[in-house]
Amino acid sequence: SQTIHQWPATLVQPVGSPLSLECTVEGTSNPNLYWYRQAAGRGLQLLFYSVGIGQISSEVPQNLSASRPQDRQFILSSKKLLLSDSGFYLCAWSSLGQGGSETQYFGPGTRLLVL
Amino acid sequence: AQSVTQLGSHVSVSEGALVLLRCNYSSSVPPYLFWYVQYPNQGLQLLLKYTTGATLVKGINGFEAEFKKSETSFHLTKPSAHMSDAAEYFCAVSRSGGYNKLIFGAGTRLAVHP
């Protein structure tokens, strides 16, 4: 069966510090991968998605970047965190093919607090 | 462009009462529709989805939703609420072709009281 991991689970960082959040998927190959942010009391905002190694698309211009160094690894980064980067970050994966109807499976999330 | 509107950011029901969470979508092409549930400090879990075929979709935990094209709606229902149903519920839409990009509604927080 497939599983998705995110770490760390919780992170408290000062403004201006760097960020690296990691997401890995097990039990599947060539997944689509996604990063979402969920701000308090708000819905999910798609930040980045990837259809393959090294292929990253950004949905919202911002202070963050993403990378996919391996097929089942997706990393969210920032060089300098802002207060507005605080939130709950969710990674998700879906299968390729049949475009649009595949279920996205979410990881447990990372709660980031920037002080 | 696609969009999702969830009417009511908070819904409160009594245990055993009907649960009705409303979702309306906007899409220029036939949509794929999803309902997810999120328990506190956890990721999202799929409840059910509509792709094609039967418009009444049954999901996990006794939930179901009906796709009504004429009303552009995909409301989520459960005949009898249980305390464990208290969570946040998200409706989402995607479109056919290419990768699976989901557009989420703002969410509805369901409270169940004794």
**pLDDT of res. B53:** 87
Q: Which of residues 40-69 of A touch B (CB under 8 A)?
A: 42-44, 46, 49, 51
Residues of A whose CB is below 8 A from B99:
32, 49, 51, 94, 96, 99
Identify all chain B residues contacting A103, using CB atoms and an 8 Å cutoff: 34, 46, 49
Q: Which two structure tokens, joined as six digits, stand for A77?
A: 């980064």
Cβ-Cβ contacts under 8 Å, B42 against chain A: 108-109
Average pLDDT, chain B: 92
Residue B105 clears pLDDT 60, i.e. is over it: yes
Q: Amino acid identity, residue B86?
A: A
- Does the beta carbon of A106 lie under 8 angstroms from any beta carbon of chain B? yes
Task: Identify the CA nearest to A74 among candidates A14, A28, A33.
Answer: A33
Whether B64 shows a pLDDT value over 80: the answer reads yes
Interface with A, mutate which of B102, B103, B108 (most A CBs under 10 A): B102
A31 within 8 A of A93, measured Cβ to Cβ: yes
The reported pLDDT for the residue numbered B102 is 87
pLDDT at A98 over 60: no
Nearest to B95 among A43, A46, A100 (CB): A100
pLDDT beyond 70 at B98: no
Q: Are B56 and B69 in contact (CB under 8 A)?
A: no
Task: For residue B40, give the chain A residue with the closest CA.
Answer: A108
List all residues 6 or more positions away from B107 whose beta carbon is below 8 Å from its beta carbon: A42, A43, B6, B9, B38, B88, B89, B90
Interchain contact B22–A (C-beta under 8 A)? no
Mean residue pLDDT across chain A: 91
Of the candidate ranges B39-43, B46-50, B92-96, the one whose mean pLDDT is the lowest: B92-96
Q: Does residue B91 register a pLDDT over 80?
A: yes
Q: Tell me how many residue pairs between chain A and chain B have CB atoms under 8 A apart.
A: 63
The pLDDT of residue B99: 64
Q: How far is CA A66 from CA A22, A29, A31, B59, B85, in A?
A: 10, 19, 16, 33, 34
Q: Which residues of B touch A32 (CB under 8 A)?
A: 99-100
Averaged pLDDT, B87-112: 86
Residue range B47-75: mean pLDDT, rounded: 94
A90 touches chain B (CB under 8 A): yes
Q: What is the pLDDT of residue A41?
A: 67
pLDDT of residue B4: 92
What is the distance between the alpha carbons of residues A85 and A39, in angstroms, rounded to a whole number?
Answer: 9
Q: Is A84 helix (H, G, I), strand (E, B) or coil?
A: helix
Q: Tell me the pLDDT band of B19, cut-offs 50, 70 and 90.
A: very high
What's the confidence (pLDDT) of residue B97? Answer: 57
For range A71-80, the mean pLDDT: 96
